[in-house]
Amino acid sequence: MTTVAQAADPPADFQPATAAGANGSRFVRACLRLPVDRTPVWFLRQAGRYMPEYMAVRRHHSLLDICRTPDIAAEVTITAAERLGVDAAIIFADLLLPFTPMGLDFEFVANEGPQVHAPIRTSAQARALRTDRTDDLLYVARAIEKVANHFAAPRSDGDQLGIIGFCGAPFTLASYMIEGGSSRNYIETKKLMYASAPIPSENCHPERSGAESKDLRFDSATNPEQDAWPILMSKLVTVLADYAAQQVAAGADVIQVFDSWAGALSPTDYRQYVLAPTTDLIRRIQALGVPVIYFGVDTASLLPAMRQTGCDVLGLDWRTPLDLAWRTLHHAVAVQGNLDPIALFAPEAVLHARVADILAQAAGRPGHIFNLGHGIVPNTPVDAVLQVVRQIKSSTL
């Protein structure tokens, strides 16, 4: 039988990130599970509505204007990283930007989040999505170049700031395409998913797929939409791999793949419908020479399957104790996380104890990046975020 650890090991000829040889930045070294002088730290949504500097820019520009104007996106990215004194800057962009060149219009509606104008519900609609216009997204690469130039010189402690590019994962992006926005139960997404035959994966547990998959091939008269899911997965992987390649060429040291809503899936469904395309995407990004952080929320039961994608770092949400999650993964992958973002509203002493607890659970092992278990929410006190950064910086390994 294939164990999780065996299946998850990268191929023998796998070359880890060229961006981080022996002298790579603290953040990139931790992604590769190399020793570091102290735990690196950054925050999900570190440039967001909790930050007055971001709101000042936001008063004059829409979210999409900021994303699509390299000077402004770079400025917002740099300001947040410098204000917080973190070890990595995540480029200011949004998960849904690739929808536009794929031919899917959307907008951000105040207080309601994203809305896709014509959600995908049929194979014909999936077939009509375009994969040949990813160059339209080069404005993100231009912003990354500006950020990388700004942070080209080492900081006062001699360490180079890490530059993080990102994209959505196939499942999470497909959920927005199909539901048309945020969702509670993912009914339309799962309808299209279940209408398709499971996608074979070399990494799937043989005892859980294989035999069943054969029984699940429908004929097209009974099920006209059986092609929609595999077409969507494959087109998303094509576009996202090109988009990630643009970001790496522009100077991203690491790519984070956001599978924010993967926790809506059972491990069986994840393995049958999502693991193979996600693995394909992650392998293609790693082939560019950078480590990949793979992040989702509510993923406690999915972590072994997510690890099978071969990602370098798994982002943990705050519901799973970090030590337990890492043990489940045999410490064979780096981990990122996992403070409850709402702990940033707690009194100083409580917040201090929570941060200390996470560091104690990581126990100085190489391969821990401190972060939240999900994004900073609006109204979070900036001082609390700064307190966490000070605490991490004063904790030597």
Give me the residue whose beta carbon is nearest to ligand CP3: 260
Q: Say whether 371 sits in a helix, a strand or coil.
A: strand
Smallest distance, ligand CP3 to C-beta of residue 58, A: 6
CB 382 → ligand CP3: shortest distance, Å? 13
Task: Give the span between the Cα atoms of 58 and 140, in whole angstroms.
Answer: 18
Helices in the chain by DSSP H: which ranges?
4-8, 26-31, 52-58, 63-68, 70-84, 99-102, 123-128, 138-150, 170-179, 187-194, 211-215, 228-249, 267-269, 275-286, 303-307, 322-328, 348-362, 382-393
Q: Which stretch binds ligand CP3 (CB under 6 A): 21-29, 39-47, 183-191, 270-278?
A: 39-47
CB of 73 to ligand CP3, least distance (A): 9
Contacts (Cβ under 8 Å, ≥6 apart) of 96 = 106, 114, 168, 173, 176
371 counts as binding ligand CP3 under rule CB under 6 A = no
Is 10 near ligand CP3 (CB under 6 A)? no
- Name which position in 73, 90, 241, 359 contacts ligand CP3 (CB under 6 A): 90
Q: Does 48 bind ligand CP3 (CB under 6 A)?
A: yes
Alpha-carbon distance values, 47 to 44, 316, 326 (Å): 8, 20, 28
Residue 165 Cβ, how far from ligand CP3 at the closest point, in Å? 10
Nearest-angstrom CA–CA distance, 134 and 88 = 26
Among 27, 99, 258, 270, binds ligand CP3 (CB under 6 A): 258
- Is residue 12 a contact partner of residue 294, using CB atoms and an 8 Å limit? no
Residue among 123, 246, 260, 278 that touches ligand CP3 (CB under 6 A) = 260
Q: With respect to ligand CP3, which residue has the nearer C-beta, 16 or 337?
A: 337
68 makes contact with ligand CP3 (CB under 6 A): no
Q: Please, what's the largest Cα pairwise distance for the chain?
A: 66
| Nearest in space to 305 (alpha carbons), one of 210, 384, 204, 178 | 204
In the complex, minimum distance from the CB of residue 143 to ligand CP3, in angstroms, rounded to a whole number: 11
Q: Residue 58, interface with ligand CP3 (CB under 6 A)?
A: yes
Residue 45 binding ligand CP3, by CB under 6 A:
yes
| Contact between 172 and 95 (Cβ < 8 Å) | yes
Minimum distance, C-beta of residue 394 to ligand CP3, in the bound complex (Å): 24
Site stretch for ligand CP3 (CB under 6 A), options 89-97, 142-150, 284-292, 320-328: 89-97
Binding status of residue 33 toward ligand CP3 by CB under 6 A: no
Judged by CB under 6 A, the residue of 86, 88, 96, 274 near ligand CP3 is 96
- H/E run at residue 335: strand 334-339
Residue 129: CB partners within 8 Å, gap ≥ 6? 102, 103, 104, 120, 231, 232, 235
Number of C-beta neighbours around residue 128 at 10 A = 13
| Interaction between residue 326 and ligand CP3 (CB under 6 A) | no
Which x/- pattern, by CB under 6 A, does the window 99-128 give for ligand CP3? ---------x----xx--------------
The contact set with ligand CP3 (CB under 6 A) reads 44-49, 58, 63, 90, 92-96, 108, 113-114, 166, 182, 258, 260, 375
